[in-house]
Structure 1
Amino acid sequence: MFGELIAWYLFFGGMAGGACLAGLLIKACASISWRKAGGAALASSALGQRHALVWRQFHDLVGRPTLIAATLAAAVGSICLLGDMVRPEQAHLLFIRPVFSVLNVGALALALFLVVLIALLAIDLRGIDLSFRVLVALKVLAGALACVIIVYTGIYLNSIWTIVPWSSAFLVPLFLFSSLATGLAVPFLVVGISNVDLKLCSEPLKVLARLDAVCIAGEMISLIAMFIQMGGLDEQSPFALFFSDGLGLPFLLGFIGCGILAPLLLDALSLRARVIGPWHVLVLGFTTMIGGYFLRYCVMGVSVVFRAMTIAAIGV
């Protein structure tokens, strides 16, 4: 039903949506703190001015690279989706003869999302001067489309009732929190590979680490809920398929180890450390990315195992 490229499509699509929301959040924090600093300056509040300057410098450092990463991820995700289609040359029919379905809505949202991201990137790179309202409208549209892209994949998989392991309602929040965490990994990676004094961005990094910890915790809770709902590790339970036919190691090491345990530990260390080191944020970003991919790889792999077992049972 789905090819190998779909796991990559789900990964890059989720990362694009999460990175877009992360970039918009950082921009909002920088703008709000800067406006507050205007009032603080009148009161000679050095603390307020410093807070605003730190967030503005952090946005200047990670804002554009995060937007570029979101745009590239959306483009690569679109290519992967086209590559998995039986007849990619007929993809234009989604726009000419649209049929209402979760899959079509998601594909249209991804295409529009990519267009909006390219527009925002062009505005940023070329310094195009637009009215404040137009710019805000573009960013709100990008954020709304990012939310649709993040949520719709889990809803679409839920709708395929013939694949029992996808029927859990907790698959939607699992994908949601994973996409948000993967998106937050982008600014961590940008900071890690940048030649910058991390003392200057320690405060924003700790804010992102708190948000990342919340997202990872959300993944863990969603996974536990799915585990309970699907019957645990009972031999006949759908959840047990995550440990069959070579999926056990990718699931335990790739998703649980790299996607949940390692980021949670690194987030906790980030919040306790006075100064966060470059290797720390690099490892945090990379492990989260690895976990995000292997979650989707295992979810798609479970469907293959389930279908094979169903076919074998019918044959018997």
Structure 2
Amino acid sequence: MHIEVSCDSGMLSVANERGGCMTFSELIAVYLFLGGAAAGAYVVQATLDICNGVAQRKGRSDYRAPEFLCESTYRRVRRIVYGASLAIIAAGVVCLIADLGRPEAFYYLLIYPTGSLVSIGALALSLLCASLVASFCDATFTMGQCARRALRVIKVMGIPVAVVVMAYTGMLLKSVVAVKLWQSMWLPALFVASALSCGCAIVLLGMCACEDRRATRRWEAGLLRADMVVIVLEVVAAVFLLGDIAGASGLSAVWSILAGAQSLLFWVGFVGCALLLPLAVEGAVNITRSRTTVAATASVSTLVLVGGLCLRLVMVAAGVQPVV
């Protein structure tokens, strides 16, 4: 089978002799970031909610003791995180629709689903939006017990959907078989780890918006430790990904990322902002058991988000140039 890869005006087109074609614009990197970040934030916050509910049913106060996180502060964090995630995923859907070129294309993907990754991704995005709406309503409005239970069931069901969205953002690139740069299974793994780290960052930013710092410090400490673990997993996935690229595509592909046109975004944007600086700050906080300020927490969280976007920009841009 003959495969042709062409690049015109920032567009990546992959076509075969059967006439099939997949085109990626610059918006795809933004969509991959927004979809992954929103899904990661949902997984992190929904998991915290479930742990809190389990602790309450067992009569424990580990997760929401009054002296650490009162009900009003807890609801405020949930409203901010779920509301922000809903806005982020909506922006990601807009980017996806714009990249498809026809607004009705997204509608047809839902009405007439197929086994393609694009169709699966569109369905997963729609289900995640529904789960975010349910979670936001649960955190915002006062409802009856039956309604709250129904919303919580939807929230739990949304966690595996969010995991699918995180993995899909990497599998979408991997499905383009003409680009050897994207064929490693470590690419989806790296995107999932990055999405979880971005999710921790969004939740931490939501806590920074709360006035009562005493109420959020314990949760922040736990999230910083969790983010450290996820960042280490990112480092492992990135190393293995570069190794796979070097083995399958040649050193030229690795060179373009490490020392070529994408090196600045990779080293400063991804390695510096998403890995080294957050890992250094979070490690220092956990080793010294010191308390972080709002500015420090917000800065680290923002760096993680910037690094997550830079990672997608690097991988998409590096794939625009065909690797031979």
Query: Shared fold by TM > 0.5?
Result: yes
Q: Tell me which of 151, 165, 169 is aligned to 1:135.
A: 151
- Between the aligned partners of 1:273 and 1:66, the Cα distance in structure 2 is 26
Q: Which residue of 2 aligns with 1:4?
A: 26
1:189 and 2:205 correspond: yes
- Between the aligned partners of 1:19 and 1:227, the Cα distance in structure 2 is 27
- Between the aligned partners of 2:156 and 2:259, the Cα distance in structure 1 is 43
User: What RMSD in Å do the two structures reach over aligned CA positions?
Assistant: 2.2
Cα pair distance change 1:129/1:155, threshold 3 Å = same
Unaligned runs of 5+ in 1: 41-47, 311-316
| Conserved 8 A contact 2:45-2:81 | yes
Cα pair distance change 1:257/1:52, threshold 3 Å = same
SS in 1 for 2:177: coil
Cα pair distance change 1:179/1:237, threshold 3 Å = same
SS in 1 for 2:251: coil
1:31 and 2:53 correspond: yes
Cα pair distance change 1:228/1:91, threshold 3 Å = closer
1:209 and 2:224 correspond: yes
- Between the aligned partners of 2:121 and 2:265, the Cα distance in structure 1 is 27
| Conserved 8 A contact 1:220-1:260 | yes
1:22 and 2:51 correspond: no
Correspondences of 1:128-277 after superposition (within 5 Å): 128-131=143-146, 133-197=149-213, 199-231=214-246, 236-243=251-258, 246-271=261-286, 272-277=288-293
Structure with greater helix share of residues? 1
Equivalent residue letter for 1:230: I
Correspondences of 1:276-315 after superposition (within 5 Å): 276-305=292-321, 307=322
- Between the aligned partners of 1:268 and 1:277, the Cα distance in structure 2 is 15
Following TM superposition, by how much is the alpha carbon of 1:123 offset from its aligned partner in structure 2, in angstroms? 4.0
Following TM superposition, by how much is the alpha carbon of 1:22 offset from its aligned partner in structure 2, in angstroms? 1.3
- Between the aligned partners of 1:207 and 1:136, the Cα distance in structure 2 is 23
Q: Which residue of 2 aligns with 1:52?
A: 65
Q: Which residue of 2 aligns with 1:314?
A: none
Cα pair distance change 1:150/1:167, threshold 3 Å = same
Equivalent residue letter for 1:148: V
| Conserved 8 A contact 2:204-2:301 | yes
Equivalent residue letter for 1:185: A
Equivalent residue letter for 1:84: D
| Conserved 8 A contact 1:33-1:52 | no
- Between the aligned partners of 2:261 and 2:109, the Cα distance in structure 1 is 36
TM-score (norm 2): 0.84
| Conserved 8 A contact 1:19-1:186 | yes
How many residue pairs match? The answer is 297
Correspondences of 1:100-115 after superposition (within 5 Å): 100-115=115-130
- Between the aligned partners of 1:119 and 1:82, the Cα distance in structure 2 is 23
SS in 2 for 1:231: helix
Q: Tell me which of 63, 87, 98 is aligned to 2:102.
A: 87
| Conserved 8 A contact 1:254-1:291 | yes
Cα pair distance change 1:187/1:120, threshold 3 Å = closer
Cα pair distance change 1:236/1:89, threshold 3 Å = same
| Conserved 8 A contact 1:113-1:142 | yes
Unaligned runs of 5+ in 2: 1-22
Q: Tell me which of 78, 81, 89 is aligned to 2:93.
A: 78
Equivalent residue letter for 1:254: G
| Conserved 8 A contact 2:110-2:122 | no
Structure with greater strand share of residues? 2
Equivalent residue letter for 1:26: L
- Between the aligned partners of 1:51 and 1:270, the Cα distance in structure 2 is 22
Correspondences of 1:62-77 after superposition (within 5 Å): 62-77=77-92
SS in 1 for 2:261: coil
SS in 2 for 1:195: coil
| Conserved 8 A contact 1:26-1:63 | no
